[in-house]
Structures are given as C-alpha cells and as structure tokens.
Copies of this chain bind each other. A is one copy, B any other.
Amino acid sequence: MTDFPKTPLNHVRRIAERGQYDTATIYPIIDEAKICHVGFSIDGQPYVIPTIHAREGDTLYLHGAKASRLLKHIEEGHPVCITITLLDGLVLARSVFHSSMNYRSAMIFGCGMVVEDEQAKLRALEVLTNHLAAGRWDDARKPTPKELNATTVVAISIESASAKIRVGPPSDDEEDYALPIWAGVLPLRQQALDLIPDPKLNDGIPVPEYLANK
C-alpha cells in the first residue's frame, strides 16, 4: 500500500475526513468503474469528456481516434484531472441539509505520453479491452496495422491522487431524530441485464464464459 503525499493538488478540502490517499483505496475505485471523466482546459475554457480507461500499475491508459482533441492536448504535455465516481446510494436524512449520497470517487492528476512502441500500444489496448470485459482480448479480432495507426493511446502516470468516500446511514442533528420523517438509504448499483446478441450474429456461436456470468 502506497500513500500519495497530501498536497494542494489532491487534498480533499470539503469534509476532509472523507478523504483518503492510499492506492489500496484509490485503485479499486478506478478498476471497478467502466468510465472516467477527463478534465482539461484550453485557453481557460474547461472541458470534461467521458471515456473508457484502464489501469496497469501506476499508469492509466486512455485511447481514441488519432484526431481526438483531448488526446492531442495530452500529447502536448498539458496536465489533466481524471475523476471516477461510483454512486452507491441516495442518503435520505430527516433534514434537507444533511441529505446526501453514498459514493466512492477518485481524482487522479498527471500528465500523459503517447504510447508509440507497437508492442506497448498493443499491450495497452489489451488492458483497455479487458477492462471492458475481462477475457475479451483473447477472443476478439486484434487490431490491424492500419487500425493501430488510426488509434492514439496515451499513458498517464498517476502522479497524485485522492479518494473521497461516503458510506452508511444518514447523520442527522440530534434533535431531528425525534421527527416523524422516514430516513435511510436507497442503495444504487450498476447492474448488467441480459445480453443482447448482435442481430447479425451467425448461428452456432456460443456466448463466451467471461460474458455469461455478468
């Protein structure tokens, strides 16, 4: 377990006791989420773009089309902030003021580099593909040289990060517990529904095991 130093960059300011700085807390949040939100700024105008990500060690991979403005911006060496949020529930306190949400979020700061080496690029795409569905890489048709060339992969070194987490029941003011108001948590979860086969799927192709148990 590694701790990121608490700096002005990653310091959780609001409700500081919800802040955590160790990889053992932060990395599972990154790994559980299917998408992240990448923030970058061009001439003072912020942009936030949702995209798939995948982590390997202390590196976060993003990918996209070669022409992507975000990836070009990262390629130029600008810093990004990547935020990942898992919403776990609605916290219904007796008071409006203490109403909240249960969540696990991670905020990651770093700069990125384009992955140029072909083997490293294929490895990054393997990690990204298996983040979509573990086991998919071995099964799917691999990228051709032309496809590889049309794809940019960036590796972001996780230089600083923090997590912010809220769990558990509402926390009301002492005098409010006597009020005749229902209070509790409505848990939320991202759930997989039944697989929808491609209408163009050929007959006799079984659902692979790594998808069957989703």
Contact = CB atoms under 8 A, between A and B. Distances in A.
Q: How many identical subunits does the complex contain?
A: 2
Contact of A189 (B89, B151, B190, B195): B190
Contacts of A198: 169-170, 183-185
Interface string A136-148: 1101111110010
A87 B34 contact: yes
Interface string A36-79: 01111100111111101000000000001101110000000011
21 contacts: A9-B45, A34-B90, A37-B83, A40-B46, A41-B44, A44-B78, A44-B79, A45-B79, A47-B81, A49-B83, A50-B85, A92-B136, A92-B211, A96-B129, A97-B151, A99-B132, A141-B179, A169-B200, A182-B206, A182-B208, A188-B193
Interface string A94-121: 1111010101010100000000000000
Interface of A: 9, 13-14, 34-35, 37-41, 44-50, 52, 64-65, 67-69, 78-83, 85, 87, 89-90, 92-97, 99, 101, 103, 105, 107, 125, 129, 132-133, 136-137, 139-144, 147, 151, 169-170, 172, 176-202, 205-208, 211, 214
Q: Which of A49, A101, A136 has the most CB of B within 10 A?
A: A49
B96 A35 contact: no
A190 B87 contact: yes
Contact of A34 (B45, B93, B101, B208): B101
